[in-house]
Amino acid sequence: MADDFPRVLMDLRHGQHVVTDEIAQAQVDAAAPQSASVSSTAGDDFRGGRIEEISTPFGYMFGALADAFPGAHLDGDPAQETVAALKALGSAMIEQDPRGGAGDSQLPPILTYWGQFVDHDLTANTDRDTSISIVEDDLHPLEPLQVTARLVNLREPRLNLDSVYGNGPKASGLEGQVPYAGDKFVVLEQPDLTPVGPAIVPGFDLPRTREGAGKGKALIGDGRNDENLVVAQLHVAFLKFHNNVIDWLAAHGGGNFERARELTTWHYQFATVQDFLTRIADPAVVTGLLDGTVRPVFRPSADDPFMPLEFSVAAFRFGHSMVRGAYDWNENFPRATFEQLFSFTGNGGLRPNPSFPVNPTLPDNWPARFRRLTGIDPQTDGGLPARLARKIDTHLAPPLSTLLNEGGGATSGEIRRLLKRLATRNLLRGYRLAVPTGQAVATQLGITPLTVAQLSSPPGPVGNVLQDHPELLGATPLWFYVLKEAEILGEGDRLGPVGSRIVAETILGQLRADPTSYLNKGFDPATGVTRPDGGPVRTIIDFLEFAGMHN
């Protein structure tokens, strides 16, 4: 029975990895299948049988650069020096003074977490680390053939909301599956606990297990969506959007589950392209890729659904720099800390109230007030946190050096510490997985690379590390390069030319490759569901309003 239901990744967590590290052999058979057999680690629960049966391939967007390995990559000899330089750079990227640094962008915080949701819908497995080592001083990059033969994607690389729908109503009621009530999702109304401050009505939470060792765990299609409260509440919005589509269809001539899923998915895809993507990337690049005036490098097909590592391991991690250390969350918590937003989730323990031990859930004073995160309300004052995302740049907020809910599956304290340091982890992951350098990618795209002066400015901890390790100025890790490009050319408010191309080409390429996507079906929101005021659902704000979550 379980093998019929492969889409639920309930226990999938960051800080673990399915890739085996037994790759000492000099060569990997080039004919090895992309989804080669890989053993799951203890504690994994994919609700779908063997890993290779539920996976799709990772690959390289720039195949010529992969073929030229190691010429277009960071030098792996001597590896100790490269690893030391990457660790120093990762440490320098964390701001020492949370009040200083690059400051705020002009982008609303919702884009940070909409991007995280999209990432979880497209990819899984690049950041898991129980088997592959990224902590040893003699760490070497794998050859691209080794990476693509052994690293598999546990998601379909489509924006098809399998992270929300799981295996659908047919699997509801089975252990570990997404629960439905008929054609609707089960959504929890928050109980009246009021441990601090007044209850906020309405408030909703993800469906959760009621008993046993996993009590409080979210019953959703991807467990990573319950690692921080922002993306968890955003996941609730998707559940409620679908439920409201069911009601809307009933009031407009009728429909069924599949039609509701189709409309929900199309509205999500449209908002991702026309609202999210055009705001975080160069809109001219997005428009050019849509109208054909920009010729894409990445051309996946329905028969070749691979996910580019340049996107998932490097460019799309730009959102890490946008994360704030605190958010204006709701009336009770105008300065909700990063630690709190990770604690009030199933993966963070929910801090269950002793008076309500049977069914721990989000306390009723903690639901999201998304108006404070979408830029719709005026900027607050009186010392409250800005209602803006941080700039897209080479500076990360201090909490990202001590991530909660990360590294729990690691076997040693050193690995756990590393997995909690996000910048260092990103840099070492890109190095280990043979992601090409920023300069190599820029040249491949016909874009003039950033100069040494641009990469090493302004003076400060990051610039000092680069001056001390000039090898990184000539061969710059792609993730760092994309952030620096956004910092200099995008003024921290959008990606630069290389980042825009990788991110936009990947998202639009996967939509083009999906015969059921809104692009291929010619969907326009004017023919979809409508808000209470009769307007179409085109933007993220519209989406949250239709879900009843933009309050």
How far apart are the C-alpha atoms of 12 and 325, rounded to whole Å?
A: 25
331 domain residue, yes or no: yes
Q: How many domains does the chain have?
A: 1
Two structure tokens written together for 391? 């700039």
551 lies in a domain? no
**Helix (H) and strand (E) counts for the chain?**
21, 9
Give whole-number Cα distances, 81 to 84, 184, 426, 470, 471, in Å.
5, 55, 17, 12, 10
Residue 365 sits in a domain whose CATH number is 1.10.640
Tell me, yes or no, whether 348 lies in a domain.
Answer: yes
CB 58 within 8 A of CB 152: yes
Confidence band for 35, pLDDT divided at 50, 70 and 90:
very low
In a domain, 95, yes or no: yes
Quote the CA–CA distance of 33 and 55 in Å, as a whole number: 12
What is the per-residue burial (b if ≥16 Cβ within 10 Å, else e) of 95-112? beeeeebbebbebbbbbb
3-state secondary structure 24-35: CCCCCCCCCCCC
Q: Domain range for residue 111? A: 2-546
Is 119 a domain residue? yes
- In this structure, of 202-211, 345-354, 460-469, 499-508, the range with the lowest mean pLDDT score is 345-354
Report whether the peptide linkage leading into residue 458 is cis, meaning its omega lies within 30 degrees of zero: yes
- State residue 447's pLDDT score: 98
Q: Which residues contact 283 (CB under 8 A, 6 or more apart)?
A: none
pLDDT given at position 14: 52
Residue 493 lies in a domain: yes
Beta strand 152-153 with 188-189 is unpaired
169-196, pLDDT tens digit by residue?
999 999 889 999 999 999 998 765 555 5
Position 68 in a domain:
yes
Record the pTM: 0.89
Q: Are 177 and 282 in contact (CB under 8 A)?
A: no
Distance spanning both ends of the chain, measured CA to CA: 41
Q: Please compute the mean of the pLDDT values over residues 129-144 and round it to a whole number.
A: 69
Instruction: Decide: 340 and 180 in contact? Cβ < 8 Å.
Output: no
Q: How confident is the model at residue 36 (pLDDT cuts 50, 70, 90)?
A: very low
